[in-house]
């Protein structure tokens, strides 16, 4: 158990470094994105315009939490069980505190029965690996989706995609598909260890020999995925025109409701009126900003000629200027905060 903990204390910094490289790639892409606009989605339906940089950084913050979980886990890994004997402690006058200090542990275990059976740290390590894999899978899934012809927001470099043995036009996102698939494997490793632990009595049982294989496998998997993901992101090509063309005026329907609220209309009523404008544009087969002012005022006299300003997507984005919002200034502030940490 002592050797296992020592191994894990060395593995965690190695994982930190691999995560940092991927996070750096995400921040670099966010900086390069500038004012590039893309559709934001809920339920995979177009919702509101956002900055591409804001999207890249959303994945950075998720991975940051994973790194923090590994760091927090370290204090529970860094507990020395040595000196607990088989289960009852050692019969010799051992200075366990000195042992802990010499081996680099932060503290010593306080109960020998618990110490010889404790594999919480291994299960927690696998949970953090699994959670990180889920975040990587989410990023991979979105890139797979956004590289399809139907979206066309990104194009992968040839170095990180493969062709088809049958269809010469294919450019398959294998790196991201394999990353997505590994998340299921990782969750299986965690579930397997938990299933082993849940049936054990107190103290040591030979079943605990099953703790190492899943931990080693999870570590190897992450150390394979992370650098390849980072390298693939460095070489991805963004298609700003395609992203911009995917935005239509209905995505500013919320802004239209906000416009009415600013003019004193209660939000519930403003929401209903904005919905009527959406339906009127749909029935007329025109964009919302193409409706004449008379059509707006037929729905509500509160609408004025300045309503057309609502349909500028960059204006919509820059109104979201609260901390954590998608405005250009907010994204710059996020990057500044990241670089200052």
Exposed e or buried b for every residue in 39-48, given b needs 16+ CB within 10 A?
bbeeeeeeeb
3-class state of residue 287 by DSSP: coil
| Residue 43 known to be catalytic | yes
Q: Write down the catalytic residue from 164, 195, 202, 245.
A: 164
Q: 121 and 73 in contact (C-beta within 8 Å)?
A: yes
Q: 307 and 245 in contact (C-beta within 8 Å)?
A: no
Residue with tokens 């890139």: 143
Q: Which helix (H) or strand (E) holds 120?
A: helix 120-146
Q: What single-letter DSSP state applies at residue 327?
A: S
Distances in whole angstroms, Cα of residue 335 to Cα of each of 55, 230, 328, 338: 12, 18, 11, 5
Question: Helix and strand tally (H, E) in the chain?
Answer: 13, 6
In sequence order, the β-bridge partners of residue 237 are: 155
| Residue 271 known to be catalytic | no
Which residues are catalytic, by number?
43, 164
């Amino acid at each position: 158990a002592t050797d296992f903990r020592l191994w894990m204390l060395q593995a965690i910094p190695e994982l930190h470094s691999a995560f940092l490289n991927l996070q750096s790639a995400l921040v670099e892409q966010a900086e390069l994105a500038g004012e590039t606009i893309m559709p934001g989605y809920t339920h995979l339906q177009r919702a509101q315009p956002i900055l591409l940089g804001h999207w890249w950084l959303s994945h950075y913050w998720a991975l940051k939490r994973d790194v923090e979980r590994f760091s927090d886990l370290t204090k529970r890994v860094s507990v020395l069980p040595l000196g607990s004997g088989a289960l009852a402690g050692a019969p010799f006058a051992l200075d366990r505190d000195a042992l802990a200090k010499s081996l680099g542990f932060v503290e010593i275990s306080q109960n020998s029965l618990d110490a010889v059976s404790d594999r919480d740290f291994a299960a927690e390590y696998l949970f953090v690996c699994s959670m990180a894999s889920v975040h990587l899978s989410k990023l991979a899934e979105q890139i797979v989706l956004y590289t399809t012809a139907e979206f066309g927001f990104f194009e992968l470099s040839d170095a990180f995609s493969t062709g088809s043995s049958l269809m010469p036009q294919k450019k398959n996102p294998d790196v991201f598909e394999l990353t997505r698939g590994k998340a299921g494997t990782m969750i299986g490793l965690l579930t397997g260890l938990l299933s082993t632990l849940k049936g054990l009595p107190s103290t040591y049982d030979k079943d605990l020999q099953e703790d190492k294989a899943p931990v080693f496998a999870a570590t190897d998997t992450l150390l394979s995925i992370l650098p390849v993901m980072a390298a693939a992101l460095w070489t991805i090509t963004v298609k700003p025109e395609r992203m911009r063309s995917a935005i239509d005026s209905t995505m500013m329907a919320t802004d239209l409701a906000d416009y009415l609220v600013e003019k004193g209309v209660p939000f519930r009523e403003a929401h209903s009126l904005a919905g009527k404008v959406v339906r009127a544009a749909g029935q007329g087969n025109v964009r919302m900003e193409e409706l004449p002012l008379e059509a707006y005022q037929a729905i509500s006299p509160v609408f004025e000629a300045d309503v057309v300003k609502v349909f500028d997507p960059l204006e919509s984005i820059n109104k979201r200027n609260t901390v954590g919002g998608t405005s250009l200034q907010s994204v710059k502030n996020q990057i500044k905060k990241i670089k200052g940490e």
